[in-house]
Chains A and B, each alone.
Chain A
Amino acid sequence: MKRHSLHYLLAGLALAGCLDPDEPGNLVPATVDEDPSLPRIEVAGALFHCQSFGAPEAPTVMVLHGGPGADYRGLLPLKALADDGYRVVFWDQRGTGLSQRFDSAEYTLPGYLEDLRLVIEQTVPPAQPFVIIGHSWGAMYATWFINEHGDYGGRLRGAILSEPGAFTKAQLDDYLDRLMGSVDLTGEDFNDALWADQFMSAGDHARADYMSAFFALPATPSDHIDRANPAPFWRVGAVVKSKLLNLADEQGFDWTTNLATFTHKVLFLRGDLNEAATLEHQQMLAASYPNAEMVTLANVGHEMIWERPDEYLAHTRAYFQSIGFVEGVQ
């Protein structure tokens, strides 16, 4: 009883005038279920942060962000494609960015894949073709979809894949070894993240997301981001990131089994500074597609869309022209 009294007394004193780390908007931004002003769609009972740019009847570019657990904020330079006559759809995947959070038990691999199909159904009119631009994990997500659904009844005309990590579990293990192997265990960024664990615990979604930023903000060295111009993000989806990686590790995956049937041209667009997604690595992944082309941007790392939007967009436009994905296409 005496110990309980001590706890209650100290807790009461501490809480007097203190901020609540779990209150929406304090440490990380409020999500669509917490802030009604945010643009959203509702899919299978879940609220997704979603924005689209361009005329509704225009051919659609479906943008898939990286992670898992990242968001589309750093990919927004791609909305310039709306000025070229495309409709560009951005959405934060389940549990990420400003989309609604879910507890770990609610994430499944089949459910995550179905999310993408349902978002396409909701945001791309039935008669319209579309192309996917996937960055990092988003490029893996796109490949997963293609392996499962092919060209989706002829509607999916192609894909731009920027530095996917892996299409199989074995490839992922190799990729993560290179990625994490670049982290300096005695370096300031890593040790700052470790030391910060004494100040706050990931006891709630908001705190878990916030704590993940201690590791995400400095970025992984092998990615070679431009620290003077870092790609912005809204929030690290700590729970979904951890859960999807755990599911992939436990259940394994091979998203290459049906890729041979996808004969549309696929563009692999990479930065030459990335030490985890090397040219050889990307060529190995591209070999799973029967019709793939590799383009390397010079002097840029993993965040090429944010850091070199003009070059990225130029290659994107050229690719769209090459596959006949232009205004008025049916």
Chain B
Amino acid sequence: MNSRKLLGILVVSLLLVVPRPGRAQELNLSTLDEGPVNRAHLRTGAEYGFVVGVGYARALPLVDRHIMLTGDITFPWATPDISDYRVRIGGLAPIVGQRHWRLAGTLAPTMRSTRNDVARMTGVGIDFGLLGGYYARHWFAAGEVGFDWVVTTHVSHSDRYRQVVYAEARDGWYGLPGGNLRGGVQIGGSFARYDLVLRAGLLRNSSGESPLFPIYGTLTFDTRW
């Protein structure tokens, strides 16, 4: 697939998702409608490797509620490599719930990259999620489910793969190469303008089997202003 086709996919994907809520978040939904509209977070933990991520989010009024638009970039930190990253731009919107029990939906177009012994890969996809639970003013406990769907991945094989494994391997955009389901829990505490959130759960690929690292667990520090 050439770059124009890829650009077309991205544009259509973005147009389709803009009116909808955005990416999975670690935040106390009871604070969504409160004062500060800006948030920044720092996240670390294990999610397809040991990772660290930073992001910014902004709450925007929409009809009678607020939605959250976010941007986030994540890197594996075990062996820093600028070729390995994941970028998500999306958001979150409340679906139901006014007081303590709340349910929100998330959606985020995602681009990710890696380079390893086998290939250089760039993946484009969309992450869908739901999170819901009990949200008090200073703490919350919630469940989350989601699907990180890979729409297409560009693969450019390394010389090493061609020499050692398969010389005729085809480079290009591979359509619908997979995705990963997740299901887990979030617990968090909110203090003044700060949130601390722990997420943990299980991962399964689109065939229902475990990826190499079948669990995730992250700790997020979030501040508002």
Contacts and interface: CB of A to CB of B under 8 A. Distances in A.
Q: Which of A27, A185, A188 has the most CB of B within 10 A?
A: A27
Given A10-B16, A198-B86, A232-B163, 6 more contacts: A186-B79, A189-B116, A201-B178, A217-B165, A233-B165, A235-B165
A29 B166 contact: yes
B97 interface: no
Contacts of B151: 10, 14
Which secondary structure dominates where chain B touches chain A? Answer: mixed
Nearest to B85: A195
Contacts, number: 174
Interface residues of A, number: 50
Q: Which of B81, B168, B173, B174 has the most CB of A within 10 A?
A: B174
Contacts of B177: 21, 199-201, 207
B116 A193 contact: yes
Interface string B192-225: 0000000000000111010111000000000000
B129 interface: no
Nearest to B84: A195
Which secondary structure dominates where chain A touches chain B? Answer: loop
Interface in A183-234: 185-203, 207, 210, 213-215, 217-218, 230-234
Interface in A17-60: 17-21, 25-29
Contact of A218 (B50, B117, B166): B117
B84 to A, nearest CB: 6
Contacts of B86: 198
A127 interface: no
A11 interface: yes
Q: Which of B5, B76, B84, B212 has the most CB of A within 10 A?
A: B212
Contact of B174 (A20, A192, A198, A231): A20
Contacts of B163: 232
Interface string B50-70: 100000000000000000000
B38 interface: no
Given A10-B151, A18-B152, A202 B173 contact: no
A323 to B, nearest CB: 34
B164 A214 contact: no
